[in-house]
Structure 1
Amino acid sequence: MTPTRRALATTLALTAALAATSATAQAADTPQHPWYLDTMRVEEIWEHTKGEGITVAVIDSGVDSTLPELEGRVLEGIDITASPQGAHVDSDGHGTDMAALIAGNGTGQGIQGIAPESEILPIRVTTGGMTADISGRWSEAVEFAAESGAQIISISQGSVHDEVMRRDMEEALTIAAQHGVIIFAASGNDGEGANTLSAPASLDGIIGVGAIGRDGDRISYSTYGPQVALASPGQDVPSYCGDLAGPACIREGGGTSAATALAAGSAALIWSQNPEWTKNQVLRVMLNTAERSDDQRRDDFTGYGIVRPDRVIVDGEGDPGDPDSPPIFRDWEAGLVPPATPEPTPETTPDDSAEPAPGPEAEAAATSDDSSPLPWILGGTAAVLFVAVTGWLLFRRRAA
């Protein structure tokens, strides 16, 4: 081949390569194929699971269930705003964006979510912006989600951390832990400002999520600190940049709100593939397969690392470990009050030939991370002792 022909061949090869790269980049910048689908190898994940069987509660501004990409994926939910209109009303659009990042199927010009066969439980607590009683609403929302069967809760909202917030949320977080629910919350977008500690991400029992960009580094405005446990993509994510009636677009920002939704969607994928796992096991594999720096230590910017569900689902990495041992918040969960057990009914004659059917409290105790058979053992022992002592007294009376 002559030098001229070699040069021409090289030029053509480079042109073809650049064209292919450009086409790939363009495809990766659409709401139907955002860049992180490639980073997380989501299409390979979908060969194993798409999130089926998992319900994610989205605590936000409501979810518009009429969008084509969310059709059939949105449950009834609840509206606990001051002037309720229904959980499927979303005048702000934020909650719908978050739901679509999780469960959207990309139909038409809509948003492609990472767990398109999961279900969304919408809980409307705001109509756009925080309110004075937001911690009370979040508490009610978390409790409703846990008792409605959601396995995962996503809260892409935040407010100033204070004692009132902690106290208002305490009981709801206890209920969620006892129901085996994972809660993700946005760490905040104040990293370039005062970097104020944000709740509910800063509360015990909640996984605070930071945001990373295309380069894998923390986005500069992502709030950092001890509340950050994991990070996920928050830059150039799909959104409805106008109103929900128009097509979706790629928003330059996105922040920790989007990162939280994607972390929740990642958990849904992992749990869907491993439905027998507890929340502790799902969290453990998320933490020990997260992408992090070479020193493998936690830091205040991305926590234990960047969420990588593909490493769990495609590569089979991650040891789920003990189902009853929390990977984080051990001391907090150890101090939780276990679910109450029912008092025995004196009028009921026990049937020794069969075990009694468990009531709701017993079922809660059986599925709780903090459940223990000890109360039932002690209760049974007390009943046996009562019958034995009563029989002995009757025998003494008759013998006398």
Structure 2
Amino acid sequence: MPQCHHPKLMLSLQRLGLLALPMILLGCTTPSKPLPAEPDTHTFETHEYLAETALPIVKASALYARGGTGQGVKVALIDSGLNQGLPEFRGRVADPGYDFVRQQPGTIDIKGHGTQMAGILAANKDDQGMHGIAFNAQLIPMRFGDDKEPFYFDSEIAQAWSLSYAKGARIFSNSWANPIEANTNEIPVYERLMGDSLSVAKKLVAEGAVFVFSTGNEIKREPLAEPGLPTLVPELEKGWIAVMALKNDGTAINLKSNYCGLAARWCIAVPGGDGGAGLLTTHKDGSYGPTAGTSPAAALVSGALAALQSRFPEMTPQQVRERLLNTANRTGIYANSEAYGRGLMDLEAASRL
């Protein structure tokens, strides 16, 4: 609303119907809109935050400063289980989940992979070691596969997805993929591998779920089967993210990662560690150590979705997914969509109003 130094003149002009005169001629000014305050990121850039070297690269502290920590959001962890009694996961488990190896509620993690991914995703902010990217999110762990690879356990995967959804998860973290390249000529192979799980994926995506998959660690120009699936089943794309892994500093592809390739439209890049210098996370015995590859990269993106969902609770998970992809950094090397898909995940940009 213009502010004028001649209120009597304004009143007279109003009566004469002449208020359309340029306000500047009347000595009036229009107050400028206050600029939005920059988020105070420093309080979140603790030793735990800096120890998890991926967090500064994706600018997670800006998201935290704007209220996006994962509070109230459930994420399905489809993996080798979770050792739920560790202090880093106290308060971080929404439901004990299910162990399809032992056929009983609750999980153990003999292999340790699931516990490592859970740390990247949601380990507590407790001044110990490191914290997850969504340190207030909650996990629903599912153990499948008898700790073996490849992952030809279609029925278990289908059941794990369905049960997680029934327990309230809408974000599904899958740090694994079947070891065949995504290929438009391989429809019979997909149907054989995913006889049950493909129909479940279609149903849950139609109901609003988002699935996150790692592109794989074979140093190939195409992702593996599941991350590339929307190429063959286009209706899945709105609920799908493939994740490739960068070096710790985010400057280039890491030593393991497959490219985004044909998944470029729904693929994003995040740090995934370099060989022995991986991302710091929780081990199955409660200690801390590195993990590297596209697995932790996928867990990082799953947690980012949860944290962003808590920042924008009015959005659906698929709208949050779209926001995450649309705000990725596509400058410099990240403009190469074959390698980096939509670009480097940028949580400062994604969390702006």
TM-score, length of structure 1 as denominator length:
0.65
| Map of 1:200 onto structure 2 | 226
Shift of 1:85: 5.2
* Structure 1 match to 2:263: 227
Q: Say if 1:30 and 1:51 are closer, same or farther in 2 by CA, change over 3 A.
A: closer
Deviations, residues 301-326 of structure 1 (Å, cap 9, x unaligned): 1111121122122x43xxxxxxxxxx
Which among 145, 156, 160 is matched to residue 179 of structure 2?
160
Alpha carbons of 1:209 and 1:197: their partners in 2 closer, same or farther (altered >3 Å)? closer
Question: Is 1:34 the equivalent of 2:34?
Answer: no
Structure-to-structure mapping, 1:100-111, within 5 angstroms: 100-107=119-126, 109-111=128-130
RMSD, aligned α-carbons: 2.6
Equivalent position amino acid for 1:304 in 2: R
Q: Percent identity?
A: 27
Kindly tell me the number of residue pairs found equivalent between the two proteins: 283
C-alpha change, 1:96 and 1:132, in structure 2 (3 Å) is closer
Paired position in structure 2 for 1:117: 136
Which one-letter code corresponds to 2:203 in the other structure? I
- Name 1:274's counterpart in structure 2: 312
| Pair 1:143 & 2:156 matched | no
* 1:246 to 1:299, Cα distance in 2 relative to 1, 3 A: same
Deviation of 1:96 after TM superposition, in Å, equals 1.0
Distance 2:140 2:315 in 1: 21
Secondary structure class of the residue paired with 2:161: helix
Which structure has the greater CA radius of gyration? 1
Output the CA distance in 2 between the equivalents of 1:223 and 1:28: 32
The answer to which structure, 1 or 2, has the higher relative contact order (CA under 8 A, 6+ apart) is 2
Structure 1 unaligned residues grouped into runs of 5+ = 1-26, 317-400
- What residue is the counterpart of 2:284 in the other structure? 244
Q: 1:121, 1:208 → 2: CA distance? A: 21
Residues 37, 132 of structure 1: alpha-carbon distance in 2 compared, 3 angstrom cutoff? closer
**Structure-2 change in CA distance of 1:94 and 1:86 (3 Å):** farther
2:321 to 262, 283, 290: 283
Q: What secondary structure is seen at the aligned counterpart in 2 of 1:83?
A: coil
Q: Which is further off, 217-226 or 76-85?
A: 76-85
Instruction: Provide the rounded CA distance (Å) in 1 between the counterparts of 2:179 and 2:55.
Output: 33
Q: Distance in 1 between matches of 2:221 and 2:154?
A: 20
Structure 2 length-normalised TM: 0.73
Question: Is 2:228 aligned against 1:210?
Answer: no
Deviation at 1:88, TM superposition (A): 2.8
Counterpart pick for 2:214 among 186, 208, 215: 186
* 1:284-317 deviation line (CA, Å, top 9, x unaligned): 211111112349856221111121122122x43x
Alignment-derived partner of residue 96 in structure 1 = 115
For residues 318 and 55 of structure 2, the distance between their equivalents in structure 1, rounded to whole angstroms, comes to: 26
Report what 1:302 is aligned to: 340
CA distance in 2, matches of 1:196, 1:298: 14
Secondary structure at 2:163's aligned position in 1?
Answer: helix
Residue by residue over 1:77-106, the C-alpha shift from the partner in whole angstroms, topping out at 9 and shown as x without a partner, is: 433534335433111111111111111124
Query: C-alpha deviations, 1:327-363, integer Å up to 9, x for none?
Result: xxxxxxxxxxxxxxxxxxxxxxxxxxxxxxxxxxxxx
Contact 2:63 2:308 (C-alpha < 8 Å) held by counterparts: no
Q: Which amino acid aligns with 1:188?
A: G
Cα separation, 1, equivalents of 2:47 and 2:286? 18
Inter-CA distance 60–32: structure 2 relative to 1 (3 Å threshold):
farther
